[in-house]
Amino acid sequence: MYFFCSPFVFVWEQRRLGEAFINLQNNTLSRAELSSGEGKVKNVHYGDLLVIFSEVLNVKKEELPTIKDESIISKYKESFLKNGDIVMADTAEDETVGKCTEIEGLTEEIVISGLHTIPYRPQSKFAPRYLGYYLNSAYYHDQLLPLTQGIKVSSISKTSLKSTYISYPKSLVEQGKIGNFFNYLDHLITLHQRKSL
């Protein structure tokens, strides 16, 4: 099955993360301050990001905790997540620090980034799913390991992340083919796992 061209056929670009993305505001609500269904505002919690969510988070298909106190909506209005935004975990108990997910499936929902996460918005357009898979690749994640701090709990700072590099095809079509290819692989893996149960 043909998904994308040889990397020698199209032009790739490399930029620092700090140049390619703007940082949005996250909240600092603990799990105890969240609810399982009540409330208009959905929350991307770092624990779910590390353990449950995959490279792409479809907010219509996944169950996200909600925020009980709706008075905070106005405080985070400028940081409501949009399709294509990235949410990254800035702390973990192992080398998964820096794991991220790309937001998709948003229509009317209000979703904000939670405790121990860093939400990013690309400054230019990327094809859906490309960033979610790229930023979770070993190629990118290996840049994070020397930048993490801590012994029992690892963390990474926004300042350190700004210095990392992202690479991408200039062509949105090629980005889309790469994102769709890895999404197709994920789908196949899920099907095989269900059959083996």
What region does 98 belong to: left with phi over 0, alpha with psi -120 to 50, or beta?
left
Tens digits of per-residue pLDDT, 144-183? 999 999 989 999 999 999 999 999 999 999 999 999 999 8
Domain ranges of the chain: 14-169
Q: What is the pLDDT of residue 196?
A: 67
Phi–psi pair at 132, nearest 5 degrees: -60, -45
- Please list the ranges in the chain whose pLDDT falls under 70: 1-10, 190, 192, 194-197
> What whole-number distance in Å separates Cα of residue 34 and Cα of residue 39?
9
> What whole-number distance in Å separates Cα of residue 148 and Cα of residue 140?
14
Q: What is the pLDDT of residue 194?
A: 67
User: The domain 14-169 belongs to what CATH superfamily?
Assistant: DNA methylase specificity domains (3.90.220.20)
